[in-house]
Amino acid sequence: MSNVGKVYLVGGGPGDPGLITVKGTEALRAADVVVYDRLIDPRLLSYAPPRAERIYVGKQSARHTLRQEEINALLVERAQAGQTVVRLKGGDPFVFGRGGEEAETLREAGIPFEVVPGVTSAIAAATYAGIPVTHRGVTSSLAVITGHEDPTKEASSLHLEGLATAAGTLVFLMGVENLPTLVGELLRHGRSPQTPVALVRWGTWPQQETVTGTLGDIVDTLAAREQPFGAPAVIVVGEVVALRERLRWFDNRPLWGKRVLITRSRDQAGRLAHLLAEQGADPIEVPAIAIAPPDDPGPLDDALGRIREYTWVVFTSVNGVAGVFARLEAQGRDARALAGVRVCAIGPATAASLRERGIRPDFVPDAFLTREVAKGLADLGVAGKRVLLPRTDIVGEDLAGALYEAGAAVDQVVAYRTLPAQEIDPEVREQLRAGAIDLVTFTSSSTVRNLVSLLGDDRAVLERCTIASIGPITTRTAHELGLRVEIEAQEHTVPGLMRAILEHVAR
């Protein structure tokens, strides 16, 4: 047993991937195998190394991928094979997560293990609904109770006759299917019918939904709904529920409940996705383009080898910066190669990317349109000077022509390629067909062209969505392809696009 591995029982939190602990992410980074549950955000799996095996063992009511005994045996088997195993569980492993059973099995088999606590939905779902489970002057006691006991037990161990009034706040997990029974028992054992109740479904997820009422009417309230209110849901009973209207912070943000399609390349979508999520949206990344190095780096290498011949280098995008510095690194050079050359950065993101590499741009135009950039450089004396323009392989606005008209000698070189995505996620296609996508964002002309091409005969589904464009060039491309653009950023940046979306929603 000297080569035996180790098992980490890790609480992944209730859904929001930001709620996993630092220690939980460290365990995932060391994993050879990740055994994960149904209520795990897929983004958590990205912490594990690409080589790590991922095994889904999710459970739903009456539908189990693996029985608990089989999961226990799997953990033992993989650890005995010398692997580091992460058992990634929703919420906390020891709060109705059957982590104790798994730990007992591991101990009996002589397998080393650690338990990494997680944020339990008992607290997090209520918190994300604006309900503090304890509150000074309201209640100082809390009971967390399962609403779904082992069906093989001969008798219930809940003792609701004692629990009904023993704690100020009662939180039931996995109890929505038994709501009428639970409510009836609480009323029968002395809880007032006027006691506030909240049901929080998919707590901490973008699709979180909350229904409130009292013990006297909550069952009828759910029965009257057109849409069923099913698991996963947390039931909160107590006077603290009345604080929700004052303390709501998660499900009352400007973009709450809106599904937004992001068509940027995968490595650039993160910032927009983060900004959208901060405002309550559910960002869905569907890259319509991919960024790749040039097929032939020779012309770029040659221009960089003669960099001192140029007075200006004009970077039009973050991708152009990355492409140039990738070739400098390949040549064993760095930012010092640009010493003595003036640098223009179009857009604050491009400027920031240069600063990260030790280059402070000499000129960042206020507007990012071709004529404005050319005019600004003309005012700085570009006439008669040589200009290097690293760009994509797709010819767009003729910045080189505008600089030529301003009297500059311009050399254009391909610093990166913009490739169309090969396919669209079938699930996203179905969401578009069903009208479940509220807004589509375009950050370049190529994202517009490529998404329309990917959709093919389904392109008409975009007519059901609000379309947001990063600027007039992208908007013009959308119009040429028959799309109606309702939102256009005044500042042609990702933050500018975000501001335009928020202004549109506010109107």
Asked which of 119, 136, 153 is the last residue of a domain, the reply is 119
Active-site residue identified among 59, 217, 411, 438: 59
Compute the distance between CA of residue 161 and CA of residue 185 in angstroms, rounded to an integer. 8
Nearest to 484 by CA among 502, 467, 504, 459: 467
Q: Are 465 and 431 in contact (CB under 8 A)?
A: no
Active-site residue identified among 16, 32, 41, 174: 174
pLDDT digits (tens, 9 = 90+) for 5-59: 999 999 999 999 999 999 999 999 999 999 999 889 999 999 999 999 999 998 7
Q: Is residue 254 part of a domain?
A: no
Q: Average pLDDT in the 59-80 region?
A: 84
Q: β-strands 84-89, 6-11: how paired? A: parallel
- Tell whether 296 and 415 lie within a shared domain: yes
Q: Is residue 253 part of a domain?
A: no
DSSP 357: T
**Where residue 154 sits, what CATH number does that domain have?**
3.30.950.10
Q: β-strands 113-116, 196-201: how paired? A: unpaired
Compute the distance between CA of residue 253 and CA of residue 94 in angstroms, rounded to an integer. 33
Q: Is residue 252 part of a domain?
A: no
Catalytic, 59? Answer: yes
75: helix, strand or coil: helix
Amino acid identity at 12 = G
Quote the tokens at residue 389. Answer: 């323009």
**H/E element holding 103?**
helix 99-108
- Tell whether 299 and 396 lie within a shared domain: yes
- Tell whether 281 and 302 lie within a shared domain: no
Phi-psi region of 472 (alpha: psi -120 to 50; beta: other; left: phi over 0): alpha
- Tell whether 41 and 152 lie within a shared domain: no
Q: Is residue 167 part of a domain?
A: yes
Quote the tokens at residue 310. Answer: 């140029």
Q: Is residue 235 part of a domain?
A: yes
pLDDT digits (tens, 9 = 90+) for 299-335: 999 999 999 999 999 998 899 999 999 999 999 999 9
Compute the distance between CA of residue 419 and CA of residue 426 in angstroms, rounded to an integer. 20
Q: Is residue 350 part of a domain?
A: yes
Beta strands in 90-229 (DSSP E): 113-116, 142-146, 169-173, 196-201, 209-214
Asked which of 374, 391, 420 is the last residue of a domain, the reply is 420
- Tell whether 390 and 348 lie within a shared domain: yes
- Tell whether 25 and 61 lie within a shared domain: yes
- Tell whether 130 and 243 lie within a shared domain: yes
- Tell whether 481 and 339 lie within a shared domain: no
Amino acid identity at 389 = L
Percent of the chain with pLDDT over 70: 96
Statement: residue 154 has pLDDT above 60: no
The number of domains in the chain is 4
Catalytic, 174? Answer: yes
Q: Is residue 328 part of a domain?
A: yes
Residue 337: predicted pLDDT: 94
Active-site residue identified among 37, 41, 92, 282: 37
Q: β-strands 466-469, 487-488: how paired? A: parallel
Statement: residue 148 has pLDDT above 80: no
CA separation (Å) from 281 to 164, 276, 494?
38, 5, 15
Angle, alpha carbons 238-240-242 (nearest 5°): 100
Asked which of 420, 446, 461 is the last residue of a domain, the reply is 420
Q: Name the residue range of residue 494's domain.
A: 259-288+421-506
Quote the tokens at residue 33. Answer: 């195998």
Q: Are 6 and 84 in contact (CB under 8 A)?
A: yes
CA-based torsion, 316, 317, 323, 326: positive or negative: positive
Question: For 331-396, where are the alpha helices, taking DSSP H only?
Answer: 348-356, 370-379
- Tell whether 280 and 331 lie within a shared domain: no
Q: Are 312 and 407 in contact (CB under 8 A)?
A: no
44: helix, strand or coil: helix
- Tell whether 305 and 158 lie within a shared domain: no
* Between residues 35 and 160, the one the model is more confident about: 35
Q: What are the backbone dihedrals phi and psi of residue 399, each rounded to the nearest 5 degrees, phi first?
A: -65, -40
Residue 215: predicted pLDDT: 97
Q: Is residue 105 part of a domain?
A: yes
Catalytic, 37? Answer: yes
Compute the distance between CA of residue 435 and CA of residue 206 in angstroms, rounded to an integer. 17
Statement: residue 298 has pLDDT above 90: yes
**Where residue 365 sits, what CATH number does that domain have?**
3.40.50.10090
- Tell whether 162 and 275 lie within a shared domain: no
- Tell whether 54 and 148 lie within a shared domain: no
Q: Are 76 and 107 in contact (CB under 8 A)?
A: no
